[in-house]
Amino acid sequence: MSCQGGCCCGGQSQANVNDEHVIQAFKDAIANHNQTANDHLEYVKVVSATQQVVAGFMFRGVVEVNGGAAKEYFVDVWCKPGNQGIEVKRCEPKQ
């Protein structure tokens, strides 16, 4: 069974790092992390990402940032259905 964007429901697939929705999800995740962790990361770009159709979309990826403990961070973000916002599941330096 297929869903929008050619992603298989429940399965993980590669996400297009140039897609505006993917980029915005990770930008929002970094902004959310900054607010909750009192951090000052500056989004640069999505290096790599996967997507999974859940109740909404789960994006997992590596994001390049400025101002952090590392140049790249592992970020997992759940984009809830129906514009109900996001939930950052992980945002930590890539060692």
pLDDT, residue 95, reads 82
Q: What is the mean pLDDT of residues 17-31?
A: 96
Helices (H), 1-95: 20-37
In whole angstroms, what is the distance from residue 19 CA to residue 57 CA? 14
Structure tokens belonging to residue 65? 């940032």
Say how many Å lie between the first and final Cα of the chain, rounded.
Answer: 37
Q: Does pLDDT of 8 surpass 80?
A: no
pLDDT, residue 89, reads 96
Greatest pairwise CA separation for the chain in angstroms: 42
pLDDT tens by residue, 33-76: 999 999 999 999 999 999 998 888 999 999 999 998 899 999 99
Q: Does pLDDT of 1 surpass 60?
A: no
Is the sign of the CA dihedral 39, 43, 46, 52 positive or negative? positive
Q: What is the mean pLDDT of residues 7-24?
A: 85
